[in-house]
Structure 1
Amino acid sequence: MALTIMLVALIFLIFINVPVAFAIIASVALYFIFANDFNAMVLVQRMISGLESVPLMAIIFFMASGILLNYTGITRRLLAFAEIITRPLPGALGQVNITLSVLMSGLSGSNIADASMQSKMLVPSMVKKGYDKAFSTALTATAAIITPIIPPGIALIMYGYVGNVSIGDLFMAGILPGLTLAVLLMIYVHFYAKKHNLETEKKEKATAKEFFSGLKDAALAVVFPIIIIGGIRFGIFSATEAGAIAVLYALVIGLFVYREMGLRDLKKAIVETVHTGAGILLIIAAGTAFGWVLTLEQVPQMLAGSITEIISSRFVFFVVILLFLLILGMFIEGNVAIIILTPLFLPLLSEYGIDPVHFGIFFILTLSIGTITPPVGTIMFVTSSITGTKIEDFVRASIPFIIILIIASLLIAYIPQISLLLPTLF
């Protein structure tokens, strides 16, 4: 009875737009009340226990490094390098959009930050070149979904923390799926540009001198994820220590190498990190209390038993989870879903012989599709508001991209090697 009341209250509070963290806290408090065992200290202790973890600091460190790097001038250098790489391709500006997302993913770890930045930088230029504004906005939003699965994505760290899965393995596993999604998007942009005659004129390839000059300017950004991933994989430092090193790296680049970050920029970056980090930590704290209640009521075990009775094959399991996450992602923010669902899904994986690292990449990518779908698609609203695109136009333009994302999710689900090849090799 108390569990049912908690779940109904949570759904209702989210539906009436109560901030998710407070909706979870209120629903857990109702559980204690109706279980006739309410003790405010127990709720507080469970929330605090979710934050008493050294690996959790990695989220704040990587978030801070990504925000700091936005003030260093590194983004402008990456954009110039992306333009050199994609110059001869049809739809070059669209290809730049995707390439820049891949390059920025290794720096920021935040899809909303990347989508916001590229909406300001690239969409106006794409519109001037003749691209439809809704298409340009939808492309920018979809390309930003590459961010959570390419290291050091915040979602990878959250899934690894909650599910007790190796963050180093997840970082390695996200590289090829992220590149796979980028290639699928670039193929679509290629044919879209040809069909609408956008930047299809023949252009000279970049000379070796131009390429290496651009690479030199972007080198500090390109080697950053290599240092982070390599250091973790070879045991030089932990994921948390890697986050601290990332912050130091961003400070050195901004203050001493490029010298484009002033003290005012540093202050802005710190304030932005505190605001963003506090929101995520509050969600984690609330989600920990919620997960404790589910474990207390043995919900994961009951769910595992019910699903394995109904679904016998791994193939069907992935399809069911895909449909479930597509619907859920429309209504619940991805980080919240990771906190709540990871403890429920992980006990199921052994029944189907699915590697938790492989599932994590599929899980995060599929959940991310909800960020560009109504009614609560965060990236959809951010990009549309910046570019001035009507939501109905965005939704129409995003349909081909949603299909591509579903195809990418299915490829990752049914070809485990895409995720597991690099963790296995290294």
Structure 2
Amino acid sequence: MSAVFEFFSNIITGELDVYVITFTLVFVMIVLLFLSFPMVVPLSVGALIGLVHFSSIDTGVIIQQMVTGISPNALIAVPMFILAADIMTRGHTAHNLLGLIESFVGHLRGGLPITACISCTLFGSVSGSTQATVVSVGQIMRPKLLQAGYKDSFVMALIINASDIAFLIPPSIGLILYGTLANTSVGELFIAGIGPGVLLAVMFSAYCYFYTVYQGDSITLVKKSTMAEKLVAIKKSLLPLGFPTLIVGGIYSGAVTPTEAASFSVLYAIILECFIYRELKYKDVIDAALSTGLITAVVFILVGMGQAFSWYISFEQIPMELLAPLDLEGASKEYVLFVIALSFFVGCMFVDSLVVLVILTPIFVPIVTAVGLDPVLVGVMITLQMAVGSATPPFGCDIFTAIAIFNKPYLEVIRGTLPFILILFMMSALLIYFPEIALFLRDQAFAK
């Protein structure tokens, strides 16, 4: 008992070394998570431990850091994109985009899973949300894929992982938050995410083709669409395709900022779903707004408490002490990028990716600057790891979304994920050694 008392006494007096403090923080946070507390509670407790440890610090610093975390103007785009995604998820946008892709490639070998993959990419470009993509595309495509003879484990793994392309394709909530935390242009990040996102969709589609070939005659091919059917699908999808045109084209041309694009996307979604398709009523928009308010509140609370926690561990110099043995400041850019990717991947496997983003980004920003890495490239790499972590056991958020939507047990949902995760690892390696995949379009768009 006296040893325990002495331990906590040392925390208060600041006589413990950084490794013991780090172990204490991690242990307390893990215990609170296993006790089913929401993530904001472990973050708050971590920050409060800092106040106890440094008793001379004004307690108002927690509130100050929380407000600082949610103050950047770029965060205004977050609720706007969430609201636009919610409105489109309730309407016809996903159906029309799926119809377009299926009419052109659905009849090919591997056409249906390729349709699902490309549709996830397109819907991600209008929603920016992986979970919205899982719900919208998954509910439509899963029955079709099962009817064609595909195994359910493959279907669920495809939808979960292809939906994560939404992390890279603008408007990505992860890219917005990274840009805010790292003081990096959100517009540049949006453009830089397009190349890796499209390449990842191509790699997933290639795997779908070879998987279908391997399955042989057990897969039933879809009837080829007539030219008239293709024209109808094009007509129906023209207006939904206005979303990526507005967001990507507007930012690429410099006509709008990401925040302005977010505002326009909400207006566009309301006009499209309420007045043109007439799918949604006034009450549906109000429900979407209320849902957006709840989600935004959760995100902003996490960002605010994450900022307070990040301030504490930076004040304690915990990151510098822990990273010192790696000698990152004198390392090659490839090695630093690998360490960053590994850190975010491991973190996102166990904790919500937005929380990991808020905690780790301030730790690596000084190192990125010191070694001369392009912060835009780092942002795309980090966002890619968020995508990997969201689909990777044990706690990937898209896995649990799929469990809820498809009503399937955990082990069955994750059974087919390994090939897709390996492809995501390949994409990470390509980004490390060929950064032009992300930076080429950015350099063209923002050339001076």
Output the TM-score relative to the length of structure 2: 0.89
Q: 5+ residue gaps in structure 2?
A: 1-10
> Is the partner of 1:376 in helix, strand or coil?
coil
Asked whether the 8 Å contact 1:72–1:260 carries over to 2, the reply is yes
Worse-superposed segment, 127-136 or 147-156: 127-136
Of 323, 336, 339, which residue of structure 2 is paired with 1:320? 339
CA–CA distance in 2 between the matches of 1:353 and 1:43?
Answer: 32
- Find out whether 1:245 has 2:261 as its counterpart: no
Structure 1 match to 2:354: 335
CA–CA distance in 2 between the matches of 1:309 and 1:348?
Answer: 7
Structure 2 match to 1:366: 385
Worse-superposed segment, 413-422 or 314-323: 314-323
Alignment of 1:295-306 (within 5 A): 295-302=314-321, 305-306=324-325
Structure 1 match to 2:197: 178
Structure 1 match to 2:415: 396
Asked whether the 8 Å contact 1:303–1:344 carries over to 2, the reply is no
Structure 2 match to 1:229: 248
CA–CA distance in 2 between the matches of 1:202 and 1:243?
Answer: 37
RMSD between superposed Cα atoms in Å: 2.2
Equivalent pairs, count? 425
Q: 5+ residue gaps in structure 1?
A: none
Worse-superposed segment, 261-270 or 157-166: 261-270
- Find out whether 1:107 has 2:126 as its counterpart: yes
Output the TM-score relative to the length of structure 1: 0.93
CA–CA distance in 2 between the matches of 1:212 and 1:308?
Answer: 59
Cα deviation for residue 60 of structure 1 reads 0.8
Of 308, 311, 321, which residue of structure 1 is paired with 2:327? 308
Cα deviation for residue 386 of structure 1 reads 2.3
Cα deviation for residue 270 of structure 1 reads 1.0
Supply the AA of the counterpart residue of 1:157: I
Give CA-to-partner distance per residue, 1:295-321, whole Å, 9 cap, x none. Answer: 323445556654335973333333333
Structure 1 match to 2:104: 85
Supply the AA of the counterpart residue of 1:114: T
Structure 2 match to 1:48: 67
Structure 2 match to 1:117: 136
Of 34, 44, 53, which residue of structure 2 is paired with 1:34? 53
> Is the partner of 1:220 in helix, strand or coil?
coil
- Find out whether 1:264 has 2:283 as its counterpart: yes
Cα deviation for residue 336 of structure 1 reads 0.6
Give CA-to-partner distance per residue, 1:334-358, whole Å, 9 cap, x none. Answer: 1111111111112222344321111
Give CA-to-partner distance per residue, 1:120-143, whole Å, 9 cap, x none. Answer: 222122112211111111111011
Cα deviation for residue 379 of structure 1 reads 0.8
Cα deviation for residue 74 of structure 1 reads 1.4
Relative to 1, partners in 2 of residues 1:234 and 1:125: Cα closer, same or farther, differing over 3 Å? closer
Structure 2 match to 1:196: 215
Cα deviation for residue 280 of structure 1 reads 0.3
Cα deviation for residue 375 of structure 1 reads 2.2
CA–CA distance in 2 between the matches of 1:106 and 1:386?
Answer: 22
Cα deviation for residue 75 of structure 1 reads 1.4
CA–CA distance in 2 between the matches of 1:201 and 1:51?
Answer: 50
> Is the partner of 1:397 in helix, strand or coil?
coil
**% identity of equivalent residues:** 30
Structure 1 match to 2:3: none
> Is the partner of 1:18 in helix, strand or coil?
coil
Of 281, 293, 313, which residue of structure 2 is paired with 1:274? 293
Structure 2 match to 1:375: 394
Asked whether the 8 Å contact 1:300–1:343 carries over to 2, the reply is no
Cα deviation for residue 12 of structure 1 reads 3.5
Of 140, 148, 152, which residue of structure 2 is paired with 1:133? 152
Worse-superposed segment, 100-109 or 341-350: 341-350
Asked whether the 8 Å contact 1:172–1:229 carries over to 2, the reply is yes
Relative to 1, partners in 2 of residues 1:267 and 1:178: Cα closer, same or farther, differing over 3 Å? same
Supply the AA of the counterpart residue of 1:22: V
> Is the partner of 2:167 in helix, strand or coil?
helix
Cα deviation for residue 393 of structure 1 reads 2.6
Structure 1 match to 2:76: 57
- Find out whether 1:344 has 2:359 as its counterpart: no
Relative to 1, partners in 2 of residues 1:203 and 1:255: Cα closer, same or farther, differing over 3 Å? closer
Relative to 1, partners in 2 of residues 1:368 and 1:93: Cα closer, same or farther, differing over 3 Å? same
CA–CA distance in 2 between the matches of 1:279 and 1:202?
Answer: 42
Of 399, 405, 413, which residue of structure 1 is paired with 2:424? 405
CA–CA distance in 2 between the matches of 1:206 and 1:151?
Answer: 32
Asked whether the 8 Å contact 2:148–2:220 carries over to 1, the reply is no
Alignment of 1:286-301 (within 5 A): 286-301=305-320
CA–CA distance in 1 between the matches of 2:444 and 2:243?
Answer: 21
Asked whether the 8 Å contact 2:83–2:289 carries over to 1, the reply is yes
CA–CA distance in 2 between the matches of 1:356 and 1:380?
Answer: 30
Asked whether the 8 Å contact 2:347–2:353 carries over to 1, the reply is no
> Is the partner of 1:330 in helix, strand or coil?
helix
CA–CA distance in 2 between the matches of 1:234 and 1:80?
Answer: 29
CA–CA distance in 2 between the matches of 1:395 and 1:281?
Answer: 30
CA–CA distance in 2 between the matches of 1:309 and 1:221?
Answer: 45
Asked whether the 8 Å contact 1:194–1:200 carries over to 2, the reply is no
Cα deviation for residue 30 of structure 1 reads 1.8
> Is the partner of 1:221 in helix, strand or coil?
coil
Worse-superposed segment, 315-324 or 80-89: 315-324
Structure 1 match to 2:5: none
Cα deviation for residue 279 of structure 1 reads 0.7
Give CA-to-partner distance per residue, 1:360-385, whole Å, 9 cap, x none. Answer: 11111112212222221211121133
Asked whether the 8 Å contact 2:106–2:222 carries over to 1, the reply is no
- Find out whether 1:19 has 2:52 as its counterpart: no
CA–CA distance in 1 between the matches of 2:249 and 2:88?
Answer: 20
CA–CA distance in 2 between the matches of 1:8 and 1:151?
Answer: 36
